[in-house]
Amino acid sequence: MQSDLPALEVRRLTKRFDRPAVDALDLTVRAGEFYALLGPNGAGKTTTLRMVAGLLKPDAGTVSILGIDALADPVAAKQIMAWVSDEPMIYDKLTPLEYLEFVAGLWGINPKVSAPAAQQLLLSLGLEPHLHERCEGFSKGMRQKVALAGALVHDPRLIILDEPLTGLDALSARHVKGLLQDRVRAGCTVIMTTHILEVAERMADRIGVIAKGRLVAEGTLTELRQQNGRTDTSLEDMFIALVDAGAAAA
Amino acid sequence: MSSAAALTWFARQEIRLAWREWLAMMTGSRGKRKRAVIALIVFAAVMHLPAYAVIGRFADIALPLGKPELIVITATIFLAWALMLSQAIESVTRVFYARADLDLIMSSPANLANVFSVRIAAIALSVTGMALLLSTPFVDVLVVGGGIRWLSAFGVVIAVGLSAAAIAIAITVLLFRLIGPSRTRLVAQILAAVIGAGFVIALQVAAILSYGTLSRFAVLTSDAATAYAPDLDSPMWWPARAATGDSMVLSWLIAGGLLLLGVVMAVLSPRFSDTVVRVAATARPVRAAARATAFRGGSRQQALRAKEFLLLRRDPWLVSQSLMQLLYLVPPALLLWRSFSDSSTAIVLTTPVIVMAAGQLAGGLAWLTISGEDAPDLVATAPLPPARVTRAKIEVVLIVIGVILVPLIAALAFASVTQAIVTAVGVIIATVSATAIQLWFRVQAKRSQFRRRQTSSRLATFAEAFCSIGWAATSALAVTIPVAAVVTGAITAAILAATWKISPRRG
């Protein structure tokens, strides 16, 4: 289900804390693409995505989600969007299935649709043996998978993930990556921040590099290499060079 | 490092941690040490007034003490001991379950028996220190009014604190052995709540059943109590004697407290590490009763409410924290029951107790539902306006309060319809006030931080308490002296308005 409208269009987005965290950022993510947002610690990645998800109010700028003005009509924007943070926030006293039932209820999904979808999601994430166990005894990786299942159960058109692979073992990370790629193939848009450059390199259609609250480079891996003037360089080398250049320019 | 030096170093570390934990509780983790100390001094100074009102008339009590005086003083000391025991049980369970440093300590090459001995001593020290702090205004009043003989009351507080800590540790370890680690936490916390309130409530229940009054002194000063009390030379009166200046008895008491603590340290410290290991080893997954995997339908608010109810039901720790407030409803309920066969005017007292309980319970529940949201990002990114989220959460508070208090108010209606109406209105206003204050001062937190909710904003805590007391007084006066109720009602409304005016959510 591709759309002509961009999945995310951010214009002059600005947020200041003690210093500018996001500085008049312009960013466009096309519908149906897997977009990786990279940047060093404190570059403004999480702040940007939290503003997009409606968790933080921008000082200035606009945010448009598939044509919906997210600042003017946040409820409509949230209906088609999902957010997963690096620190999985779930309810310890609920089971994974109960958690997904709650999320589906919050998004107003018909139980006849959400119940089988929840079962399928938990199955695909390897959580089937734990369906009726309370989350309080879960490892961080299991909690992250429950949170991810919660984000997917209402079938969002835009999924925003902030460091979703943190704390996951290799098998779990593969499950999650597979699930996200399936969603992208089905027409969903995924925006993900990650410090694991290899993940961005393998999974992302396009990569954006952010430094000091500004987008310093953007494109496919090939385009980034061309921008950097070398075709044989690794993403890690390129990333360091781009961030250094961005910092020097700022 | 020698063994003695290592122990001293660890003791210093424990004291520093205890101090910082206390400071964080006092300042809401904002580290405003100077302000906390100043506030504490002001609070201690102000506390001398109620202390004078409560205890001032006993300061110049003549020696030797008669049985009625000995009974009252002994009962007061026993109450203090019960409260300290309650606090010590809380501290011990926290050491077992909540301290983040146990893995570090257990994996270190230190002698664990020694380390846990220091930790037991630290628990005793913190319980005794807190008791000394709280008792200071009362002892000061007694010393000023009755002379320096009352200074020995501080010694009694120390002896009582040491014995309470020792017994709390013994109870908790015994519970581990009897019912296992997974149940100990819940049982110990319920015990802590029940022990704290139990003695006062038991006295009130006895007073209601025997004399038709809520006054616990009715039992203590009765002829029956004097008749059944042991002889004047009984060791039972030692704490009372020591408090009134008998230095020999005081020495015995302190020695007894130290001996008890020493025995507990010697016997239980080596087993402490086993107990901690068993806590970690038995952290088995909790399975919820498997039900059909079909999801329930309903609105988004219904989903929110269902989640809140489920979380409340599944958290016995939180239930035990609220238990204390509900326990205080037992005496008025009993008084109410008695009033059906007796035309006692004491039934008027049920109104302020019910209203007060509603305010306190609503404050706790409102914190849990509004501030204590464990998945704030999820709820904030859900497609429904924040106002509807808040409304659903407030509805949960109102429903829970209704379920608990409506039967009591309905029973009251059989005794007096007017009083039932006044009580119902009082309950509604107290509940709405407490909930509104929590809403105005909401600070995002984890539900597990419930114990510290009162430290997130001192202002909100005091406002909540004053409003609950104010509405309770107003309700009681509305039943007895309606004109006076207008005055107290206006004062309480003004407090609420002032709280809103200075709240961070205004506007």
Chain A interface mutation, best of B282, B284, B295, highest count of A Cβ atoms under 10 Å: B295
From the list A152, A162, A173, A16, the residue with the least C-alpha distance to A80 is A152
Is B229 in CB contact (< 8 Å) with chain A?
A: no
Output B306 or B42, whichever has higher pLDDT.
B306
Q: Checking DSSP bridges between strand A34-38 and strand A189-193, what pairing results, if any? A: parallel
- Say whether A89 sits in a helix, a strand or coil: coil
pLDDT at residue B507 in the model: 47
ipTM of the assembly?
0.84
From the list B488, B354, B378, B373, the residue with the least C-alpha distance to B439 is B373
Question: B474: Cβ–Cβ under 8 A, 6 or more apart, which residues?
Answer: B426, B485, B488, B489, B492
Output B345 or A119, whichever has higher pLDDT.
A119
The model's confidence at residue B324, banded by pLDDT at 50, 70 and 90, is low
Cross-chain Cβ contact B295/A111 below 8 Å: yes
The pTM for the full model equals 0.72
Cα–Cα distance measured from residue B76 to residue B200, given in angstroms and rounded to the nearest whole number: 10
Question: B121: Cβ–Cβ under 8 A, 6 or more apart, which residues?
Answer: B11, B261, B265
Q: Which of A181-185, B25-29, B230-234, B480-484 has the highest mean pLDDT?
A: A181-185
Sort B323 into a burial class: Cβ within 10 Å, 0-12 / 13-18 / 19+: middle
Out of B302, B303, B385, the one facing A75 most closely (by C-beta) is B385
How far out from the chain centre does Cα B459 lie?
19
Question: B355: Cβ–Cβ under 8 A, 6 or more apart, which residues?
Answer: B423, B426, B427, B430, B468, B471, B472, B475, B476
From the list A193, A105, A182, the residue with the least C-alpha distance to A150 is A105
Cβ burial A14-42 (10 Å sphere, 16+ → b, else e): bbeeeebbbbebebbbbbbbbbbbbbbee
Least confident of A47-51, B171-175, B245-249, B323-327: B323-327
Cross-chain Cβ contact B383/A98 below 8 Å: no
Cross-chain Cβ contact B375/A91 below 8 Å: yes
Search chain A and give the residue with CA nearest B296. Answer: A111
Cα–Cα distance measured from residue B248 to residue B349, given in angstroms and rounded to the nearest whole number: 43
pLDDT at residue A160 in the model: 95
pLDDT at B323 exceeding the cut of 50: yes
pLDDT at residue A230 in the model: 67
pLDDT at B100 exceeding the cut of 80: no
Average pLDDT value for residue range B89-98: 73
pLDDT at B341 exceeding the cut of 60: no
Is B384 in CB contact (< 8 Å) with chain A?
A: yes
Block residue for tokens 């709820």: B379
- Say whether B462 sits in a helix, a strand or coil: helix
Is A129 in CB contact (< 8 Å) with chain B?
A: no
Cα–Cα distance measured from residue B215 to residue B492, given in angstroms and rounded to the nearest whole number: 26
Whether the Cβ atoms of residue A100 and residue A45 lie closer than 8 Å to each other: no
Chain A residues within 8 A of B299 when measuring between CB atoms: 108
A residues 96-125 closer than 8 Å to B (CB): 97-98, 101-108, 110-111, 114-115, 118-119
Cα–Cα distance measured from residue B487 to residue B493, given in angstroms and rounded to the nearest whole number: 10
Question: A78: Cβ–Cβ under 8 A, 6 or more apart, which residues?
Answer: A53, A54, B381, B382, B383
Cβ burial B168-183 (10 Å sphere, 16+ → b, else e): bbbbbbebbeeeebee
Neighbours of B194 (CB within 10 A): 17
- Give the model confidence (pLDDT) of B397-409 as tens digits: 999 999 988 998 9
Cα–Cα distance measured from residue B278 to residue B274, given in angstroms and rounded to the nearest whole number: 6
Question: Which structure tokens are listed for B440?
Answer: 């105005």
For chain A, give the mean pLDDT: 88
The model's confidence at residue A122, banded by pLDDT at 50, 70 and 90, is very high
- Say whether B250 sits in a helix, a strand or coil: helix
Amino acid, res. A63: V
pLDDT at residue B504 in the model: 78
* DSSP collapsed to 3 states, B275-306: HHHHHHHCCCCCECCCCCCCCCCCCHHHHHHH
Average pLDDT value for residue range A95-117: 91
Chain B residues within 8 A of A103 when measuring between CB atoms: 378, 382
Whether the Cβ atoms of residue B392 and residue B368 lie closer than 8 Å to each other: no
Cα–Cα distance measured from residue B337 to residue B284, given in angstroms and rounded to the nearest whole number: 44
End-to-end CA distance of chain A: 39
Amino acid, res. B353: V
For chain B, give the mean pLDDT: 80
Domain boundaries defined on chain B: 3-281, 300-502
Cα–Cα distance measured from residue A24 to residue B115, given in angstroms and rounded to the nearest whole number: 56
Is A46 in CB contact (< 8 Å) with chain B?
A: no
Cross-chain Cβ contact A53/B381 below 8 Å: yes
Whether the Cβ atoms of residue A52 and residue A65 lie closer than 8 Å to each other: yes
